[in-house]
Amino acid sequence: MEIPEQFKYTVDHGWVFDNKKSITFGVTDFFIKDLGKLLFLDLPRVGDEILSGISFGEIESLDNLIDIVLPINAEVIAVNERLYENLEILSSDPYGRGWLIKFVTEDIHLFDELLNAREYAECISKYKASSKQKNQRKSIKVKKGKK
């Protein structure tokens, strides 16, 4: 899985790209593949204010309903309306046509705290390792329960 170098990443599997006019936000390929079949997407409207750490939207799959959050305060200036018509775009091109919102912020200095591509790859590795351990613990508990 290729992780684009030009983006910054959140530990919650979001990506941001600052083109100096606005900032584009989306969710990573790893996140989308981990969710599986997508069913529903809820995003804010243009002009909405986003508060750091507070859900501003949701992505629903067959097994999960996930809140979408940003680690900074922002104002939404564009929403990818195409995703409402074809959610498959998000699955097939999360780093391109599958962007979620564009925003502006005064908290631009907080981008220094986000992960680069290498750091995000390490974050994914840790996530996979902890998920594997959780699954192993579940199977061990099931085996003990059958005795």
C-alpha span between 73 and 49 (Å, rounded) = 7
pLDDT computed for residue 33 by the predictor: 92
What pLDDT, in 10s, does the model give residues 78-115? Answer: 999 999 999 999 999 999 999 999 999 998 888 889 99
CATH code for position 66: 2.40.50.100
Task: For residue 123, tell me if it sits in a domain.
Answer: yes
What pLDDT, in 10s, does the model give residues 41-77? Answer: 999 999 999 999 999 999 999 989 999 999 999 999 9
**15-29 mean pLDDT:** 94
Task: For residue 80, tell me if it sits in a domain.
Answer: yes
Task: Place 131 in a pLDDT band, splitting at 50, 70 and 90.
Answer: low
* Domain count along the chain: 1
Task: For residue 3, tell me if it sits in a domain.
Answer: no
120, 114 contact by CB (below 8 A)? no
Q: Tokens 């290498």 — which residue?
A: 118
pTM assigned to the model: 0.85
DSSP 6: T
140, 82 contact by CB (below 8 A)? no
Domain of 133, in residue numbers: 8-145
Task: For residue 2, tell me if it sits in a domain.
Answer: no
Task: Place 1 in a pLDDT band, splitting at 50, 70 and 90.
Answer: low
Alpha carbon of 119 to those of 34, 37, 100, 113: distances in Å?
A: 19, 27, 22, 11
- Helix (H) or strand (E) holding 7, with range, is none
Half-sphere exposure of 44 (CA within 13 A, CB side): 22
Task: For residue 69, tell me if it sits in a domain.
Answer: yes
Single out the residue of 82, 102, 88 nearest to residue 38, CA to CA: 88
Q: Tokens 């959780």 — which residue?
A: 134
pLDDT computed for residue 111 by the predictor: 86
Task: Place 139 in a pLDDT band, splitting at 50, 70 and 90.
Answer: very low
pLDDT computed for residue 138 by the predictor: 37
Q: Tokens 């100096």 — which residue?
A: 20
